[in-house]
Amino acid sequence: MKKQSLIKGTLILGIASIFTRFLGIFFRIPLQNLIGDEGMGYYQMSYPLYAVFIAVSSGIPVAVSKMISEKNAINDKEGIIQVLRKSVLLMIILSIGFSGILLSFSKKIVTILKWDPKAYYALIAISIAPIFISIMSCLRGFFQGLQNMTPTAISQFLEQIGRVIFGVGLAYMLLPKGIEYSAAGAALGASAGGILSDIYLIIKYMGVRVNFYRKKIKNNNKVMGELLNIAIPISLGAAVGGIMGLIDSILVPQKLLQAGYNYQEATVLYSQLTGKASVLINVPLGLSMALSCSLVPIISEAHILNRKKEVKNKVEAALKIAFIIAIPSCLGLSFMALPILNLVFKGQIGGYTILKYLSISVPFIIIAQTTTAILQGVGKCKAPVINLFIGCIIKTLITFVLVPIPMINVYGAAIGTIVGYFISALLNMKLLRKHLNISINYYNIAIKPGWASAIMIFGVVFLYNYVYNNTMNINISCIISILVGIVIYAFLIFIFGIFEYGYVKDKFIKK
């Protein structure tokens, strides 16, 4: 199987991620119209627990990707199959256990967390999804380890298609029974998407496994130990990130009640934070995750083959891409928060100020994700977990203190996210310089993209106002200004020499 370069792999996953994120957003448009902020609140309350499973188990596909990349580098085909088998076994055990717990204790969970009782149905509906997600995760890790990102990209697309079609369809069918049942139907879309993705990945795997089965594969228990040794720290780190979302689902509604809001008002504000602002924030984060997925196997291969110069080149390139994504995303979502929210959610602009402030967290989240992937690739899996845990504690404290203050309310959660990820990103950068002995040129990596982004957003805002004054149509003005902004930014990247052809060829295409 032909390997893909860092830039090609990132591009493939990036395009797929953006496309699927937009599909996810458009999934929410009819859903928002069907069940409103209240129903979205029920859906969003159930989702963080599902996200915790995704986070807890996410270390396994990353570990699979890393181990398979290393074994493929030394042509250990039997080892590749052993890693895949052990990972599937481990994920199935985890998923069945997690789903069983959620199904058995859903009512108690809703009571303990002081959620609206109507959120129970969505929690039950989403509880079965982990079983289907587990197989999908392992097979994605398998193909990523072989440095082929195309199957992952296609499976992401199919997963989101299944989620949209079945989720919206079930929500519509169940709406006459009540908003809470409609929200549960939407939650079932996660399982449908997982099934569709699984079917494709299994078919794809059946087509390539002949390249690895040359003789009977012997059982090797050491593989499970190695898998767990890599996966546990990564899972803990991802779990901390998932716990940040869970903390919001627990603390924010409760603390909003303390701030003087009633249950319905608290649910609506929470929905605006997680169902609108966070959803739009996740679009640029999809590009960052694509970069991270491509980074781990490529850096792992260079590291195990002791290609120190190549490792440094990939790190420099990855950080540059991270800043190129992060800075314009932050400025765009902040300055264009209202028209973007109006465009996506068809006039439902409630929460646009939350998006304006939460967008500040984007650069810090992206840098934290990218540096974590780099450190994982060179075998430093535990330290970024500790750094993220420190950020999580800080976020929790800030959320706990600020949200009950009536003048701050839900914005306290946004402030907590910004500060928490800033601390994590800063600690990771220090760790990177220390362990890899890398001298980072911040002018080329961050300042140049910053200037390009500032000029771009000035042009976007000016053009938006000009078009709006002539058309009086907020959506047309938003679309035109964003498209022109993308062209301006791409032109400025070239003019400022942020990426040159020779640079791209040397750092990305050559192996």
Asked if the structure places residue 19 within a domain, the reply is yes
pLDDT tens-digit profile of 78-118? 778 888 888 888 888 888 988 888 888 888 888 877 777 88
Q: What is the pLDDT of residues 138-149, one digit of tens each?
A: 898 888 888 788
Query: Is the pLDDT assigned to residue 171 strictly greater than 90?
Result: no
- The per-residue pLDDT for range 5-18, each reduced to its tens digit, is 666 766 777 777 77
With respect to residue 314, please indicate whether it lies within any of the assigned structural domains: yes
Residue 76 lies in a domain: yes
pLDDT confidence bin for 308, thresholds 50/70/90: confident
Which residues constitute the domain of residue 271? 6-440
Structural domain contains residue 510 = no
Closest CA to 370 of 429, 439, 300: 429
**How is residue 197 written in tokens?**
């993705």
CB 328 within 8 A of CB 456: yes
Residue with tokens 């910053």: 450
Assessment of whether the complete model's pTM goes beyond 0.75: no
For 367-387, the pLDDT digits (tens) are 998 888 888 777 777 888 889
Q: What percent of the chain has pLDDT over 70?
A: 89
pLDDT at 141: 85
Reported as a single tens digit per residue, the pLDDT across 464-499 is 999 999 988 999 999 999 999 999 999 998 888 876
- Is residue 505 in some structural domain? no
Please state, in angstroms and rounded to a whole number, the distance separating the CA atoms of residues 463 and 457. Answer: 10
Top pLDDT among 32 and 169 is at 169
Average pLDDT over residues 182-207: 88
Task: Answer yes or no: is pLDDT of 218 > 80.
Answer: no
Question: 275: part of which helix (H) or strand (E)?
Answer: none
Is residue 374 in some structural domain?
yes
- Kindly state whether residue 469 falls inside one of the protein's structural domains: no
- Whether residue 1 lies inside any domain: the answer is no
- Cβ pair 56, 237 in contact under 8 A: no
Q: Which residue has the higher pLDDT, 53 or 357?
A: 357
**Does residue 319 have a pLDDT over 60?**
yes
Q: For the chain, how many structural domains are there in total?
A: 1
Unique residue bearing structure tokens 């910004």: 418
For residue 69, pLDDT beyond 90: no
Torsion of CA 435, 439, 445, 447, to 10 degrees: 120
pLDDT at 6: 61
Going by pLDDT thresholds of 50, 70 and 90, the confidence category of residue 501 is very low
3-state secondary structure 261-309: CCHHHHHHHHHHHHHHHHHHHHHHHHHHHHHHHHHHHHHHHHHHCCCHH
Mean pLDDT for the stretch of residues 106-131: 82
